[in-house]
Structure 1
Amino acid sequence: MPAVRRLPSRAALLTEPPRAGLDVAALAATWPLFAAARRGDGHPVLVLPGLMTGDPATLVLRTVLRALGHHVSGWDLGLNRGPTSRVVDALRAHLDRLHRTSGRRVSLVGWSLGGRYAQELARAAPGSVRGLVTLGTPVGRGAPWVRTASGVVDRGTRRLRGAAGLPRPWAERGALRVPATSVYTRADGIVHWSSCRYEIRPRRENVEVRGSHLGLACNPAVLWLLADRLAMAEGTWTPFRPPLGLRVLFPRSR
């Protein structure tokens, strides 16, 4: 039996930036389609960026979701250098504040490492979370990518106040008890797509899109899926089914 590749290919990694540009171009070309996308009900949505990015990297995504009627917040913590104690405490407080001030559960959207944060927030406070969508995130707790990223984070944050003694990766106790959608692309040059898939179980789904890892936050298929997932009434989760005219954007979902 051939060995299973657990790291993206060198070609996929090197071509990430130009392929992300194609994702942006695809969004511009398909923008009129969003007039038919599902609208939000105004509940809070917290968007978490990937490693070594910040709120500017999710600006397009948040702008589209706001235009569709969602009450969207960025993470407001500057550059994402990893789960330092400051970040963990601030995210817990941010989630609690959004839940208390709105009186409604919060949807979480996390890109790459931000998706790991979203999972751990949902484990820590399932009563505050309506559901989550991860984009190019390794969803298994023991994924090799997470261990590698953890080492990078440890070295990079060694001098940061409050970083000492924090386990990597950030892990809360308890099962993930909220609806969860993992979005992945087989052309991902940063995270191997096979680590971005949940085991099939109730209220879990994996949805494949075409595109790059760096372009996931402006990929038209991702934005359409987010509009659909975030517009579901609380407690009425059903699996994602793309409309017939957009199925070419979604190679498979299950």
Structure 2
Amino acid sequence: MATLPFKDTSLPSREEIARRWALAKEPCPDDARGPRLKLLLREFLWPLEPLRRRLRERLEIAPARHPKTVMLLPGFGAHPIRMRWMARRLEEAGHVAKRWGLGYNLGATADRFERVEKRLVALHGRHGEPIVLIGWSLGGVMARELAKKHPDKVAKVVTMGSPFSGSPRANNGWRAYQAIAGHRVDEPEIDTVVAEKPPVETVAIWSPCDGVVHPRSACGKPGERDRTVAVRCSHMGLVMTNEAMAAVLAELDRG
């Protein structure tokens, strides 16, 4: 008996590819602009960050005064392995660092948010305490939404270069996002007001040297976050530099 050839339904159809390509080519409907091209080009130097860390002053990691369970949420297009150096430093200080459990972050789709939501609930149940969410770029936007929905399970939100304020197109990655995630950046698949502050302590770490997300979007306005911390590094360096790491450790020891 002949068998039908296997059809890989995971591959997008031509119509879907065309739709996503059209999303990527859309004109910017507002006056929002990402960081300057010079800053964007410097982002491609991120493979040199480990060498720079060795040449600069060593990061001194003191034992955590308040050890916490932390979930790390990667940025758009990034795998959790990109936050592994940060996770190791957190563990070295005495915190418990957990991945978000979803692999690559390919957009804040309804399905992906539902799965990371289940991950948060599971971690909370396993550790018996509210979880600190540290989100890099898009991961921080998702962390804020998790805290809005589960404030009893989140101790604090720390965003790192996350575009939660102002126009969702005030960055140099919104076209790629629309092509990969399959929806417009200003039409999220979950019902939310992105700039609205979660009902838990919310800290925004941002950089004036960010080449991907506009500093104003990552810093936010009063009322959209509780506190801000400025560091001088690239967007990629937010999870790879001693300065940013020191800022995260200091936030975990507050309060």
Which TM bucket (shorter chain)?
Answer: 0.7 to 0.9
Q: Summarize deviations over 1:115-138 as a string: whole Å, max 9, x none.
A: 111110011111111001111111
Equivalent residue, structure 2, for 1:155:
179
Q: Which residue of 2 aligns with 1:85?
A: 110
Structure 1 residues 115 and 122: CA distance shift in structure 2, 3 A = same
- The residue that corresponds to 1:110 in the other structure is 135
Alpha-carbon distance in structure 2 between the residues aligned to 1:194 and 1:203: 13
TM-score by length of 1: 0.77
Kindly indicate whether residue 215 of structure 2 is the aligned counterpart of residue 193 of structure 1.
yes
Q: Aligned equivalents of 1:147 and 1:15: distance in 2?
A: 13
Matches for 1:151-230 after TM superposition, within 5 Å? 152-158=176-182, 167-168=187-188, 170-172=190-192, 175-201=197-223, 204-230=226-252
Further displaced range: 26-35 or 57-66 = 26-35
Q: Which position in structure 2 is the counterpart of 1:249?
A: none
Do the aligned partners of residues 88 and 53 (structure 1) sit closer, same or farther apart at CA in structure 2, a change above 3 Å counting?
Answer: same
In structure 2, what is the Cα distance between the partners aligned to 1:141 and 1:60? 31
Quote how far apart the aligned CAs of 1:105 are.
Answer: 0.4
Distance in 2, matches of 1:14 and 1:203, equals: 29
CA distance in 2, matches of 1:231, 1:76: 25
Cα gap change, 1:208 to 1:27, in 2 (>3 Å): same
Identity score, percent: 26
Per the alignment, residue 101 of structure 1 pairs with: 126
Is the alpha carbon distance of 1:8 and 1:169 closer, same or farther for their aligned partners in structure 2, counting shifts above 3 Å? Answer: farther
Mapped partners of 2:152, 2:97: distance in 1: 19
Structure 2: 5+ residue runs without aligned partners?
1-30
Q: In 1, Cα distance between the equivalents of 2:157 and 2:120?
A: 13
Aligned partner of residue 34 in structure 1, secondary structure: coil
Render the CA deviation track for 1:190-247: whole Å, top value 9, x for unaligned: 1111111232359711111111111110111111111111123xxx3xxxxxxxxxxx
Secondary structure of the equivalent of 2:204? strand
Could you say what secondary structure the match of 1:215 adopts? helix
Calculate the TM-score normalised by the size of structure 2: 0.76
For 1:28 and 1:169, locate their aligned partners in 2 and report how far apart those are by CA, in whole Å.
42
Structure with greater Cα Rg: 2
The root-mean-square deviation of aligned C-alpha atoms, in Å, is 2.8
Match for 2:150: what amino acid? A
Q: Which amino acid aligns with 2:179?
A: R
Task: Determine which of 25, 39, 59 is the counterpart of 2:51.
Answer: 25
Cα contact 1:99–1:106 (8 A) shared by 2: yes
Kindly provide the amino acid, as one letter, of the partner of residue 109 in structure 2: T
Indicate how the Cα distance of structure 1 residues 202 and 152 shifts in structure 2: closer, same or farther if over 3 A, else same.
closer
Counterpart check, 1:129 vs 2:154: yes
Number of residue pairs matched by the alignment: 221
Match of 1:44 among 58, 69, 76: 69
Deviation at 1:86, TM superposition (A): 2.7
Q: Are residue 55 (structure 1) and residue 80 (structure 2) matched? A: yes
- Find the counterpart in structure 1 of residue 25 from structure 2: none
Q: Matches of residues 61-76 of structure 1 in structure 2 within 5 Å?
A: 61-76=86-101
Distance 2:220 2:124 in 1: 27
